[in-house]
Amino acid sequence: MNAATGHIARRHDLDSLRAVAMLLGIVLHGVLAFIPATPWAVQDARPSEGFALLMALIHGFRMPLFFLVSGFFTAMLWRKRGLQKLVTHRCMRILVPLVIGLITIVPATWVVIIGASVAGGTKRLQADGGEAGLPATIWITAAIGDVAGLESQLAAGVDVDAWDPVTGATPLAIAVWHDQQQAVEFLLEHGADVNQPCRDKSTALIAAAFFGRDEIAKTLLAHGARVDARNERGDNAAEVTYVNWSITQQIARLVHVELDQAQLAAGRLEIRSMLKQAGDTSMTEEGTRKDRTNAGAILWALILGAMMFPFFQHLWFLWFLCLLVAAFCIYAL
């Protein structure tokens, strides 16, 4: 159907509902700074899981509502003006803003993200315990390898396996990230559980394997680290050693870890040998899981990589709307 069918009254009630959802967006983006382990530009020093629930409630209401209302108005516009006018209207209202955003907002966002990662990082933490006034925590002392500070924290009754409210990692895992061998040994000698998972179910051994910390991996295995432990994505220590350099860099920047590609590769190679000797049998010689075919592993890697890379950043919903309008046009023909 390409012809218009006449006048259709505007639904001001739906306009009002959409406006309320837009206002809720201000609340949603405001609470992101208070949610633990969220990759957001601003992080409050006192995060709470309660804000994560609030964000989920708002987001779960807003986005389906936006798409539903957009679909309703798309159908209304089609009935009122015809398919050709609909396509022109949606290109001007959705596709053009998306293209403009891709050449302005998205590159600017990447500049901010990369700049913040470079300006932050471990240098801030390694300057004698950090900036003046930076509160001493067991996670910061683990990151900078301050054994005396760790001893003071434990003497004060701090839980040696407590999760960092921001990253969700244990002190042991954070010490592993930053290659703090002495801190790792100290924590293990003072009661840290070598198999204690972080919030994402990763263990210290998985972290050591991912970042190529071969000496630390040897220490962890000597203290009984399990080679079959898996994170929430289903990967064990051996499998994370095959994550490519690009994704590894992205994750390293998020947790302010500096890596050398050659050292990473050498460390991971040594760790694979250790894990095999420790009884890991999950990987083939080619570096794929035995429960997957090579073709399946390649396809899975491509899908995962495409899902993880934020090509559209916060403009993803415009891209989704473009796809939905295209599907609607096929239906309307």
Quote the mean pLDDT of the chain: 83
Mean pLDDT of 218-237: 90
pTM passes above 0.85: no
Reported as a pLDDT band with limits 50, 70 and 90, residue 306 is low
Q: Which residue has the higher pLDDT, 40 or 161?
A: 161
Give the residues across from 289 on adjacent strands. 283
Residue 281, pLDDT score: 74
pLDDT surpassing 50 at residue 192 = yes
Q: What is the DSSP string of 258-324?
A: ---HHHHHHHHHHHHHHHHHTT--SB-TTSSBTTS-HHHHHHHHHHHHHHHS-TTGGGHHHHHHHHH
Q: Where are the domains of the chain?
A: 12-118+315-332, 122-291
**Comparing C-alpha atoms, which of 173, 286, 171, 179 is closest to residue 238?**
286
- The pLDDT assigned to 129 comes to 47
CATH H-level, domain 122-291: superfamily: Ankyrin repeat-containing domain (1.25.40.20)
pLDDT at 257 > cutoff 70: yes
Question: Given this model, what pLDDT does residue 15 score?
Answer: 85
Alpha helix locations (H) across 32-146?
49-81, 83-90, 96-103, 105-119, 122-126, 138-144
Which residue has better confidence, 300 or 228?
228
- Spatial distance between the Cα atoms of 245 and 264, rounded to a whole number of angstroms: 9
Q: What would the mean pLDDT of 87-93 be, rounded to a whole number?
A: 94
